[in-house]
């Protein structure tokens, strides 16, 4: 897998997590711990993408 393909894969995963976070926050009573985990995973992907872009 090329670096560009890897970055695209990470970006897609990041977008999917963002969608899940938006969906979760729209639902009342969503598990706060689950939301925190989704945000943590999204941040890790963002950090990994930043390492490849530098």
Instruction: Give the domain ranges of the chain.
Output: 3-53
Q: Which of 34, 36, 42, 37 is nearest to 15 (CA)?
A: 42
Q: What is the pLDDT of residue 7?
A: 92
pLDDT at 54 over 90: no
Give me the chain's average pLDDT, please.
92
Q: What is the pLDDT of residue 52?
A: 83
Q: What is the pLDDT of residue 40?
A: 97
**pLDDT confidence bin for 11, thresholds 50/70/90:** very high
The pTM of the full predicted model, rounded to 2 decimals, is: 0.84
| Cβ count within 10 A of residue 28 | 5
pLDDT at 46 over 90: yes
């Amino acid at each position: 897998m090329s670096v560009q393909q890897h970055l695209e894969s990470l970006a897609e995963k990041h977008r999917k997590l963002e969608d899940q976070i938006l969906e979760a926050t729209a639902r009342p009573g969503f598990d706060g711990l689950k939301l925190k985990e989704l945000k943590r995973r999204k941040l890790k992907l963002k950090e990994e993408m930043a390492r490849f872009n530098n």
